[in-house]
A = this chain, B = another copy of it.
């Protein structure tokens, strides 16, 4: 199956393709117009800690849906989907270490497991582009840079860790517009956490991101930092969480929500 097949597909077709292992590529560009989401799966006791972590850190962890323990179907935003099989690629963390990447997690799921879908910045980039704002990493055809900041998230139970941020260079006269647009969409990380001065966030070399690729600044561009959905992985690592399953980078879950409906 090729990207062309899925570009205009309904999410249910993408779920089916993933389930049949006919698609295991990054999801950027598939199912045009539908919200994509970060996935986190945890056993129930850790899941309650994590839900409080999300409640206390809504910018990095905007919750779109949490399933009941043992229920792999996100009934509200993707009825009919099965989160154990319907993503192209998963990462398995044990005691905070990435131990495995795989294409389904059927055998790791049991009646205690809880799945979280968290808002992802693909959707707000869509809105920024609609407003004619330049997204440098897309212009340059690379994955945007992501950094571990020096800022501690508010802990919850066993979960603690530093805030992870994505960065987009923007022309100084358009920064305010980017703030206004993203502030209106708390479900996909909301407004920036930091503008300018990477040093103050503990980032000593902007050209050496911790995840993603180095983006080229145009003359005058200001670095604008948003909270990033990689924050839960960072928390799992720092907290040495017994078991956490996530999507693999860029291999998101496509929800049944339309971007224009849902981003309120």
| Chain A residues in the interface with B (C-beta under 8 A) | 44, 47-48, 51-52, 55-56, 63, 65-66, 68-69, 76, 154, 156-157
Contacts and interface: CB of A to CB of B under 8 A. Distances in A.
A51 B54 CA distance: 11
A48 to B, nearest CB: 4
A47 B45 CA distance: 11
B56 A157 contact: no
Contacts of A156: 68
A157 B76 contact: no
B68 A56 contact: no
A157 B70 CA distance: 11
A68 B52 contact: yes
Contact of A76 (B44, B56, B63, B76): B56
A92 to B, nearest CB: 23
A63 B69 contact: no
A199 to B, nearest CB: 28
A156 B66 CA distance: 9
A77 to B, nearest CB: 11
A138 to B, nearest CB: 30
Contact of A51 (B44, B55, B65, B76): B55
Nearest to A47: B48
A47 B52 CA distance: 11
